Structure 1
Amino acid sequence: MRKGLQLTLLLIIVILRYAMAQNEINIPTPTQAQLDWQNAELVAVFHYDLHVFDGKPYNQAKNRITPIPDYNIFNPTNLDTDQWVKAAKDAGFKIAILTATHETGFALYQSKVNPYSLKALDWRDGKGDIVADFVKSCRKYGIAPGIYIGIRWNSFYGVHDFMVQGDNEFAKNRQAHYNKMCEEMVRELCSNYGDLAIVWFDGGAHGPEKGGADVLSIFEKYQPNGIFYHNTQRADIRWGGSESGTVPYPSWGTFPFPYSHSTNQQVVLKNNFQLLKEGDPNGNYFMPAMSDAPLRGYNGGHEWFWEPDNEKYIFPLEHLMNMYYNSVGHNTTLIMGLTPDAEGLLPQPDVQRLKELGDEIKRRFSTPLAETSGKGKKLTLKLKERSQINHIVLQEDIAKGERVREFVLEGKTKNGWQTLFEGSSIGHKFIHKFDEVEVDAVKLRISESKGEPQIKNFSVYNVEQKSSSK
């Protein structure tokens, strides 16, 4: 009888272990590129194009359909990509992206296939290569470089929303020429500048199935370890549903179908991009959201490109910190738009604000009062002494997938355990800010998970509040 009971118990244990293993197998996990992307947390995107030099306010709709009359207005007399990238480094950015081409179609490098490029300029005798300068600066400062390629709009070639206008043979020939040129530009950019953290196609990139260029196969050949964003064939990350630099809570890193807002438009557009903002905890595809915003997006501004006398639009420090809490602290990567000026420098007020941002993030989060990590559904973090706390940071080991579905944070006060927060998503990072409470321990209780929870970081802080910069 005893032997039979032992065999039965052994069988039950085997079945339970098998069930747990099967459950964990079904948890979507990130590629190394996606893991690097979320670990970066902060990403800069530098927008630079011909119209920075025209003395007129940036008008996206007009720029998409109006060629620049004289491309030799491009003349940055003091170009210094080291200065750009150092400013990003000082803010804590780990990845930096440059617009190699944007809506004018002008290319900021030495292209052999696109005559509308730096080769055409008087500047630097037609030998300048800002992409090369930028990538070199990134490597100098230990930042991973990325490239942004705009092929959806090209006012010089007359391409609107991917397509040459018209349906006659001439238009078809021009479309074939444009598609081929785009493919070869992508080949140049993906093969001539070393490893890239991300190749970002502005507004997407039609694949051959929609009459566009075949860019994905080129990317996969030359940049197999990077982030591809995006077309109807593939998207490694997703837009977070606004250009506010924030997402709501929760924002899961998983998604129900593979190609973000390139596909299933009716579902994606519903309820003001709710699915893009929130993701889907039951989604079978790992596709974390990004939160993007320009640094000059305050007080009614939304400046992706530099214009003179627009310093009033630079976000105050406290607004940037709020953005940080509601992007990085909500399991997304924050992409911030930076605007080099017509001289070729990032303006000093922008540089100063970025330095303040980096310093403030370090001030708040570099010295936890206590921290721990571990597996399982309950972790208790004991402080050395009873202390005031007002911030808690949680991180899952997302290399093993997002496993937590529901959790409770409790603090042990002099009156016993008190609930501090009840939540759902943790993901790469969850930051909870609250009024000060005095505790000698904090407990994380995970009431629901998919597989065994893997907590990479559980830390508490007492952040002294300071007045914001103006």
Structure 2
Amino acid sequence: MKNIHLILTLLLIQTIFISCGSEVNEIAPPEPVMPIPSAAQMDWHEMEMIAFLHFTTNTFTNKEWGYGDESPSIFNPTELDVDQWMTTLKEAGFKGVILTAKHHDGFCLWPSEYTEHDVANSPYKNGNGDIVKEVSEAAREHGLKFGVYLSPWDRNHADYGDPSYIDYYRNQLEEIFTDYGPVFEMWFDGANGGDGYYGGANETRTIDRQTYYDWPTTIDFVRELQPEPKVLFFSDAGPDIRWVGNEHGVVAETNWNTINNDTLYAGQAGINDLLATGSEDGTKWIPAEVDVSIRPGWFYHPEEDDEVKSPEKLFEIYMTSVGRGSTLLLNIPPDRRGLLHENDVAALKEWRTMLDETFSTNIAAGAEVTADSYRGEFDIYHPNHITDDDHETYWTTGNGIPTGVLEIDLGDEKEISYVVLQEYIRLGQRIRSFSVDVWQNDEWQNIAEATTMGYKRILDVGPVTTNRIRININDSKASPIVSNVEVY
């Protein structure tokens, strides 16, 4: 008899343990789907829009790529006003700026101790000017983060192609990160090696793009110079942000923030499609940055004054960059006066007005939401969190449930044109495909199909009139996590 009582007691304890264990398992957040963004990468996602400032001797020679033989005497902006730059960019909605501190011509916009090919040898402020200092200080005064482009290729320096040049490049990085930081993003592209002036050599020099710069050591060197806040490094291969594979302002509709970068390096050919889509099974979180210029060229050319992208084109670019889960890096080059040109400023202002008018009134704010299920039926995962204007709350499903249906009640019938959806990517990117339906004529009508959602997905669905919207998560790598849905 005692044995029977003991067995029953053990079974009861086991039942209670299993029950409590299941409840604890369901109330805990879903396990992260690796990889996940770092804190610095998450801040970068939330910036959404960054401005690029291409400005150097090219502005005065009317070239895109300087040869390296330009005299510093040609650099002479007579009305330079960095406050005008920052005021314009802040009002347009940018959260940071990246300045071409040195382009391929090797001309430095700061007085560098290691070269004569710099602003100290120009007429600007009688050789006492420092564009990098002016821009970095003005950016911070306007609440914008500051980043730099420092070209690894230098068509002016005599040692380019030799190991000694790497010391020169790192010395200049030390100047930048010691005197002008903090820097939120360090930008370098894949243009490396070719013909140049090279201290008067006038020859073609080639390098092994994969090994010459010893990027791991160079990046570690910079991280030691600025351990906090973390610097994000951009290149074709990352390691923190990848190139999108084109300069048209477009990331692929399927856009994974993950990629395998073991075999990628700056300047590698034939990887554009991969860079635009990322890889679902990527082992590193390296999101795509969409770089594009407001003009046909990257530097200012007076003949392009009438070719500035229209506000409508900029809105389209916003939809194919930010609207597909990437961050937009839009170049607005200062002119020879040292000002952002009137045509560029006008286009930016009208574009900002379009964005504000389009995304000003969220029809779904505070709306009631139902779901076919939510994790453990606990309120912290209730579907209402997708309309509560708190991006740190979210709806998610139980373990092993990779699909879900969310229905938003808009109350009265309303005309809608755009649906904005966001995953809670702090726990990884999960959703492979989803669709959107609206209630019309007493039935559900499909109005959009999409693959990845990511940090933000904006769908152009209208205009269509409805009082109910249904979001179908059709496939995910694990429990889908949706933090925010807006309707406009």
Q: TM-score, normalised by structure 1?
A: 0.84
Count the aligned residue pairs: 430
Measure the CA separation in 1 of the matches of 2:358 and 2:108: 40
Are 2:162 and 1:155 equivalent residues in the alignment? no
CA distance change for structure 1 residues 201 and 405 in 2, over 3 Å: closer, same or farther? same
Counting only pairs closer than 5 Å after superposition, residues 397-416 of structure 1 correspond to structure 2 as: 397-416=424-443
CA distance change for structure 1 residues 14 and 256 in 2, over 3 Å: closer, same or farther? farther
CA distance change for structure 1 residues 5 and 321 in 2, over 3 Å: closer, same or farther? farther
CA shift at 1:453, angstroms? 2.6
Measure the CA separation in 1 of the matches of 2:130 and 2:258: 38
Are 2:122 and 1:121 equivalent residues in the alignment? yes
CA distance change for structure 1 residues 406 and 346 in 2, over 3 Å: closer, same or farther? same
CA distance change for structure 1 residues 252 and 185 in 2, over 3 Å: closer, same or farther? same
Contact 1:395 1:457 in 2 (8 A): yes
CA shift at 1:23, angstroms? 7.7
> Corresponding residue for 1:47?
54
Measure the CA separation in 2 of the matches of 1:230 and 1:241: 10
Q: 1:184 aligns with which of 156, 171, 175?
A: 171
Are 2:458 and 1:431 equivalent residues in the alignment? yes
Contact 1:97 1:146 in 2 (8 A): yes
> Corresponding residue for 1:196?
183
Q: 1:375 aligns with which of 395, 405, 408?
A: 395
Measure the CA separation in 1 of the matches of 2:351 and 2:208: 39
> Corresponding residue for 1:467?
none
Measure the CA separation in 2 of the matches of 1:278 and 1:9: 47
CA distance change for structure 1 residues 257 and 74 in 2, over 3 Å: closer, same or farther? closer
Measure the CA separation in 1 of the matches of 2:315 and 2:236: 32
Where 2:108 maps in the other structure, the secondary structure is: coil
CA distance change for structure 1 residues 208 and 51 in 2, over 3 Å: closer, same or farther? closer
Measure the CA separation in 2 of the matches of 1:311 and 1:126: 29
CA shift at 1:219, angstroms? 1.5
Are 2:301 and 1:307 equivalent residues in the alignment? yes
- Give identity over the alignment, percent: 30
Are 2:132 and 1:145 equivalent residues in the alignment? no
> Corresponding residue for 1:74?
75
> Corresponding residue for 2:220?
217
Question: What stretches of structure 1 move > 6 A for 4+ residues in a row?
Answer: 15-23, 204-209
Whose Rg is larger? 2
> Corresponding residue for 2:481?
454
Measure the CA separation in 1 of the matches of 2:27 and 2:35: 15
> Corresponding residue for 1:321?
315
CA distance change for structure 1 residues 12 and 209 in 2, over 3 Å: closer, same or farther? farther
Measure the CA separation in 1 of the matches of 2:178 and 2:53: 21
Contact 1:77 1:344 in 2 (8 A): yes
Measure the CA separation in 2 of the matches of 1:294 and 1:259: 29
When the two chains are superposed, the root-mean-square deviation of aligned CA atoms in Å is 2.8
Spell out, residue by residue over 1:71-97, the C-alpha distance to the aligned partner (whole angstroms, 9 max, x if none): 201111111111112111121111111
Quick one: which amino acid aligns to residue 177 of structure 2? C
CA shift at 1:390, angstroms? 1.5
Spell out, residue by residue over 1:162-207, the C-alpha distance to the aligned partner (whole angstroms, 9 max, x if none): x43xxxxxxxxxx243221111100111121121110112327899
Contact 2:40 2:232 in 1 (8 A): yes
Measure the CA separation in 2 of the matches of 1:97 and 1:354: 17
Counting only pairs closer than 5 Å after superposition, residues 219-298 of structure 1 correspond to structure 2 as: 219-224=222-227, 225-230=230-235, 235-257=239-261, 260-262=264-266, 265=268, 269=270, 273-296=272-295
Measure the CA separation in 2 of the matches of 1:209 and 1:422: 40
Where 1:370 maps in the other structure, the secondary structure is: coil
> Corresponding residue for 2:423?
396
Measure the CA separation in 2 of the matches of 1:326 and 1:6: 56
> Corresponding residue for 1:88?
89
Measure the CA separation in 1 of the matches of 2:21 and 2:314: 51
Contact 2:432 2:476 in 1 (8 A): yes
Quick one: which amino acid aligns to residue 403 of structure 1? R
Measure the CA separation in 2 of the matches of 1:259 and 1:459: 39
Quick one: which amino acid aligns to residue 181 of structure 2? G
Quick one: which amino acid aligns to residue 223 of structure 2? E
CA distance change for structure 1 residues 391 and 25 in 2, over 3 Å: closer, same or farther? closer
Are 2:336 and 1:342 equivalent residues in the alignment? yes
Quick one: which amino acid aligns to residue 269 of structure 1? G
Measure the CA separation in 2 of the matches of 1:17 and 1:286: 29
Where 1:93 maps in the other structure, the secondary structure is: coil
Quick one: which amino acid aligns to residue 219 of structure 2? L
Measure the CA separation in 1 of the matches of 2:26 and 2:363: 39
CA distance change for structure 1 residues 425 and 208 in 2, over 3 Å: closer, same or farther? closer
Contact 2:68 2:104 in 1 (8 A): no
